Amino acid sequence: MKSQEASETAISKQWWVLLAVSLGTFLFSLDVHIVNLALPTLVEDLHSDFATVEWVPMSYFLVLAILVLCVARLGDMWSKKWLYMIGLAAFTISSLICGIATTINLLIAARIFQGIGAVFIAVLAPVIATEVFPDAKRGLALGIITSTGWVGVSLGPTAGGVLIEHLGWRSVFLVNVPICSIGIVLAMLAVPRGSSNRSDADFDFWGALILAITLTCLFLGITRIQGEDLDGKITWVLFVIAVMGCVSFLWSQKQSDRPLLNLSLFRSRELSFRLLLSLIYYAFATAVMFILPFFIKLVKHYSEQQVGLLIAVLPILAICVGTVAGYLADRFGERSISTIGMTLLLIGCLTISTFSQELTVKGYLLRMLPFGIGCGFFQPSNQSAIMGSIPPQYLSVASGLWFFSQALGQVMGITLIGILFSRLSASQLPVDTQFSVTTAPVEALVFGEQVSFRIVSAILVIGLVICGFLWQRQNQRLRINRT
């Protein structure tokens, strides 16, 4: 009787743990997409410009890219419970600072702090669930965590539009505070401390530092190009440091006994190509989600709530299709489904490039249909291919690499689409006229959006070629096995 009660108590605690980590995952996903709706408003309210406002989402993703490999390593060394709670606490405090920020620089600084908290939440939540649940229920637990993340993605645009229209842009940050507070209490009471193997010598501090400097210099240089400082010495110095840092990082990882990045894994051509495809996908998807609020609000003059509803259609469509795509990937193979997904993404990019001032809601939905379906087909099948391309003992490493490619792609997507959109839109203005996204003529914004996505489609062609190559290799192997 006592053993049965103890078993029921343990099971009950498992679900409380799942609630705690799912809440964190929901917040992380919600915040990524809720902020984009506020960007056009931030340009006006904080007296900023397009290039500077880009750093509100980009600083968040940059921190994720820098720290994801470090946090994955720290999770093996120290208590995951306390690291997760530190992440929630940092997310709470930074959300409050974001909500009361009076300058764009303070807001960006707070977003950097928020990104630090977010990476602890995103990386450790599935690991904690994996440790707590038995093998028979592990898939269910991870599936629930993934679903809560998608709920956050779907709810972000809609909630953001409602909050901004009725309570102002500060509310999209302040809404995190009470939810995070509940998450901290749940984590403190439910999440077990777990085992840890603390050894400072095991952490590759220099590798982490070199990676941070390299990525920071790279994206600072890219954003300076957008600010029309291509001839400036500082810009080129930043790029030189980034190149030297990349070489130094690869060398340090090769020499280290406990590297952040196990370079031997990249001997797998499948893994290398799949990570590149992941980077291309997230760069494109983030570029779309970044530009859409500006286009819909400034060209079509819709309210924030209407903007949120239109953008929310995309993740909802991806969720519905993703479930079917997962089944099809198991049935016909990840390579075929991901190739179909990349094809639809390319078609979607071309249809997005036809947006105009006369665009109707029906026309918008029809043009976005290939993009939404393509996301649902490509992302889960490509992630499954990544996880299945290396031995089981390296699954956590594969997960970290996938997350790294996601964060890096998101930063690149914002920077590159920002450069294209602002430069192309500015090219339609009279000579010596300073470009401002809020005051630029509608015709200039439409031209910038259309040509930007035609250029981006060329990058997706590269992705489609890679998908086709991997699919062909799979077919060749099947023919060899049959003979």
| CATH value at residue 171 | 1.20.1250.20
Residue 141 has pLDDT above 70, yes or no: no
Q: Is residue 132 part of a domain?
A: yes
* Whether residue 432 sits in one domain with residue 393: yes
Average pLDDT of the residues in 79-91: 83
Percent of the chain exceeding pLDDT 90 equals 3
Number of Cβ within 10 Å of residue 256's Cβ equals 15
Burial of 476 (0-12, 13-18, 19+ CB in 10 A): exposed
Q: Are residues 56 and 147 in the same domain?
A: yes
| Alpha-carbon Rg for the chain in angstroms | 22
How high is the pLDDT of residue 6?
Answer: 44
Identity of the highest mean pLDDT range in 118-122, 147-151, 393-397, 477-481: 118-122
Per-residue pLDDT, 420:
84
Q: Point out the least confidently predicted range of 41-45, 165-169, 315-319, 451-455.
A: 315-319
Sequence-distant (≥ 6) Cβ neighbours of residue 98 within 8 angstroms = 107, 110, 111, 114, 170, 173
Q: Are residues 180 and 217 in the same domain?
A: no
pTM for this predicted structure: 0.76
474 and 333 in a common domain: yes
Comparing 81-90, 99-108, 214-223, 360-369, which segment has the lowest mean pLDDT?
214-223
Q: What is the mean pLDDT of the chain?
A: 78
Residue 200 lies in a domain: no
* Whether the Cβ atoms of residue 100 and residue 144 lie closer than 8 Å to each other: no
> Which residue did the predictor score with more confidence, 162 or 76?
162
Q: List helix spans (H) across 303-360.
A: 304-332, 334-352
CA distance 316 to 303: 20
My answer on whether 162 and 278 are in the same domain is no
- The model's confidence at residue 347, banded by pLDDT at 50, 70 and 90, is very high
Looking at the fold, whether 284 and 384 belong to one and the same domain comes out as yes
Taking alpha carbons only, the member of 56, 45, 51, 48 closest to residue 426 is: 51
Residue 10, pLDDT > 70, answer no
Domain boundary among 138, 169, 192: 192
Same domain, 187 and 214: no
Spell out a b/e string for 391-408, using b for 16 or more CB atoms within 10 Å of the CB, else e.
Answer: eeebebbbbbbbbbbbbb
**pLDDT exceeds cutoff 70 at 382:** yes
pLDDT of residue 243: 92
Q: Is residue 41 part of a domain?
A: yes
Clarify whether residues 379 and 446 are in a common domain: yes
Residue 136: per-residue pLDDT: 61
The continuous run of DSSP H or E covering 423 comes out as: helix 395-426
Residue 299 in tokens? 């060209």
CA 210 – CA 207 distance, rounded (Å): 5
Instruction: Supply the pLDDT for residue 9.
Output: 46
| Domain carrying residue 369 | 265-482
Could you give the CA distance from residue 232 to residue 244 in angstroms, rounded to a whole number?
19
CB within 8 Å of 20: residues ≥ 6 apart: 183, 186, 187, 190, 191
Residue with tokens 């953008």: 311
Q: Is residue 198 part of a domain?
A: no
User: Given its phi and psi angles, is residue 301 left (phi above 0), alpha (psi -120 to 50 degrees) or beta?
Assistant: left
Neighbouring residues of 129: CB distance < 8 A, sequence distance ≥ 6: 17, 18, 21, 138, 141, 142, 145
Do residue 16 and residue 156 come from a single domain? yes
In a shared domain, residues 174 and 251? no
Same domain, 251 and 349: no
In-domain check, residue 96: yes
pLDDT of 315 over the 80 cut: no
199 lies in a domain? no
Q: Is 450 contained in some domain?
A: yes
Based on the fold, state whether residues 166 and 219 are members of the same structural domain: no
Q: What CA–CA distance (Å, rounded) separates 390 from 149?
A: 25
Number of domain units in the chain: 3
Residue 4 has a pLDDT of 45
CA–CA separation, 470 and 339 (whole Å): 9
pLDDT surpasses 70 at 247: yes
Please give the share of the chain, as a percent, with pLDDT higher than 70. 81
Report the pLDDT value the prediction gives residue 53, as an integer from 0 to 100: 81
Q: What is the DSSP string of 98-155?
A: HHH--SHHHHHHHHHHHHHHHHHHHHHHHHHHHHHS-HHHHHHHHHHHHHHHHHHHHH
Tell me the pLDDT band of 212, cut-offs 50, 70 and 90.
Answer: confident
